[in-house]
Amino acid sequence: MSNDTLQRLSGTIEARKNAAPESSYVAKLFSKGDDAILKKVIEEAGEVLLAAKDGDRQHLVYEVADLWFHSMVLLAHKGLSADDVLQELARREGVSGITEKAGRK
Ligand SMILES: N=c1c2ncn([C@@H]3O[C@H](COP(=O)(O)OP(=O)(O)OP(=O)(O)O)[C@@H](O)[C@H]3O)c2ncn1[C@@H]1O[C@H](COP(=O)(O)O)[C@@H](O)[C@H]1O
């Protein structure tokens, strides 16, 4: 598995913060703010649920990609990135039981 795609996409999403809202989907979503971004994340999570139930594996991959993408937009909006999540997953590889919640309030 390669993280190159996630890194490139993170860079593109980050760059959209300085773009005019009408110039791109991500720029428009940033301009709408928190609630609009969170709504997309919830909407895509629901679509993942439906895809998981319909038995079409490619459909599931498609909807999870939508969910990951919108989660990345949310992270960027909050000053974070996919890299922060990858670091947390890497940290968990070394923790048995995953009971530690480092950094959680
Ligand atoms: N990976 C994605 C990506 N995945 C999904 N989407 C968009 O997310 C939306 C998914 O929402 P829906 O399925 O609900 O479709 P919709 O009804 O059109 O969406 P809404 O208008 O209701 O929000 C669609 O408009 C998709 O085009 C994405 N848009 C952009 N990217 C990446 O982000 C980059 C920057 O995109 P722009 O900001 O458009 O240049 C692109 O180069 C891509 O790499």
Best residue among 69, 71, 73 to mutate for probing ligand 1's pocket (most ligand atoms within 8 Å of CB) is: 69
CA atoms within a 13 Å half-sphere pointing along the CA-CB vector of 63: 19
Distance 104 CA to ligand 1 centre (A): 30
Give the span between the Cα atoms of 92 and 70, in whole angstroms.
23
Residue (of 24, 67, 59) closest to 43 by Cα position: 67
pLDDT at position 96 is 67
ipTM: 0.91
Residue (of 57, 38, 37, 39) closest to 48 by Cα position: 57
Distance 54 CA to ligand 1 centre (A): 23
* Mean pLDDT on 5-25: 96
What is the rounded average pLDDT for all residues in the chain? 92
Nearest CA to ligand 1 atom 5: 66
